[in-house]
Structure 1
């Protein structure tokens, strides 16, 4: 039976007349945002709505596209008849999945060299992930410079500050960490890989493996005795 967070509803709210999507897990929320929905965080829930000032046909188009994408990814979507569709677009892994793979490499790493190699994809000066994020922030600041609203120059300055100060600190710290690990050349003491080989200095050659045995699991104690009821 599917889990509750695999269910969503996409319907027009009878009070606000907004097209709202409710339910789902973080992956579903990401799919909704990639379709064009806007997240709304409330005290007891996070739901999604279509952008404001859209024509009704454009709202229906976004809702229909969201239904198709969610169902293609294996979600169960309850929707209005106008939003129902048999279209199942191909579900590609997003760009963020490649960056998340760096975390997986670090979790599986057994040496400092392996972690340094994984961090290089983040910290490389020319084409690392953080360098690309810096380019995005600067490009977004340039876009806001001439956008026209009174708040746009402030937003542009804020974005440049984030690129130069906040992201700069993160990049500097991670680069230092990566370089220090690259010079260390050490195995992680808690993540050694068992090769099932007996070292040459082992006297007992009949040993199967030099790894310490796994901790012994003690049997669970029996339940306490239940007092017998007194006979009348």
Structure 2
């Protein structure tokens, strides 16, 4: 039986004729959005739709590309016959993959120096990740300034506020955290690097390393029974 989060349905609504994509997990939603779909979040449901103003032919092309990308990643896609395809395009790591790798480095870090080195890639003032995000926000604000609609300047101001105030606060706090960790030069007490070497005085011949046993976790006792409930 298929897990519901590995299932995606892409069809035209029989009543409204809108092209909608439903179901799927977060990776599937990323694929849909990279194919051109837009997320819609309601109180009792969420789904994806195509952008406004597309011709029916453009919508079909967008849906077909989404079906191909999803199936290439192992999703079961139920779709209208017009969108069915045997194409399986190659996939490549997204631009965020290198940033996500920093989280893996922090999870594997055994010293404050290790974590400080990973955070430096985020907080570096010239070419860090946060500096790049600030440049994207500013460039998008500049783009909105030239679009010409009355609602565009407020959006541009909001984007500059995010870059100049919110993101800068995050950048400052993260830089301080990185500096504090870099000054400590301390191992993490709950993490250690296993060398998989057995000392000469080890008495157990089955030992493969000298690491201490993991701390014992005591079972949580059941909650006390209320006196009034006893019979």
Q: TM-score range by the shorter chain?
A: 0.7 to 0.9
Q: Which residue of 2 aligns with 1:106?
A: 106
Q: Which residue of 2 aligns with 1:142?
A: 142
Per-residue Cα deviation, 1:7-58 (whole angstroms, up to 9, x for no partner): 1110000122110000100000000000000000012222000001110000
Q: Which residue of 1 aligns with 2:81?
A: 81
Root mean square deviation, CA, Å: 2.0
Task: Give the number of aligned pairs.
Answer: 215
Alpha-carbon distance between aligned partners in 2 of 1:217 and 1:53, rounded to the nearest angstrom: 59
Aligned-residue offset at 1:212:
2.9
TM-score scaled by length of structure 2: 0.87
| Structure 2 unmatched ranges of 5 or more | 220-231
Say which of 194, 197, 202 aligns to 1:206. 202
- When residues 180 and 96 of structure 1 are mapped into structure 2, their CA distance, relative to the original with a 3 A threshold, is same
Alpha-carbon distance between aligned partners in 1 of 2:202 and 2:33, rounded to the nearest angstrom: 60
Alpha-carbon distance between aligned partners in 2 of 1:189 and 1:216, rounded to the nearest angstrom: 16
1:12-91, aligned counterparts within 5 Å?
Answer: 12-91=12-91
Alpha-carbon distance between aligned partners in 1 of 2:217 and 2:162, rounded to the nearest angstrom: 51
Aligned-residue offset at 1:193:
2.1
Runs of 4+ in 1 over 4 A off after TM superposition: 196-199, 207-210, 215-219
Q: Which residue of 2 aligns with 1:175?
A: 175
SS across alignment from 2:96: helix
| Structure 1 unmatched ranges of 5 or more | 220-232
Pair member with larger Rg: 1
TM-score scaled by length of structure 1: 0.87
Per-residue Cα deviation, 1:94-117 (whole angstroms, up to 9, x for no partner): 111221111111111110111011
Per-residue Cα deviation, 1:130-161 (whole angstroms, up to 9, x for no partner): 00000000000101112111111111111111
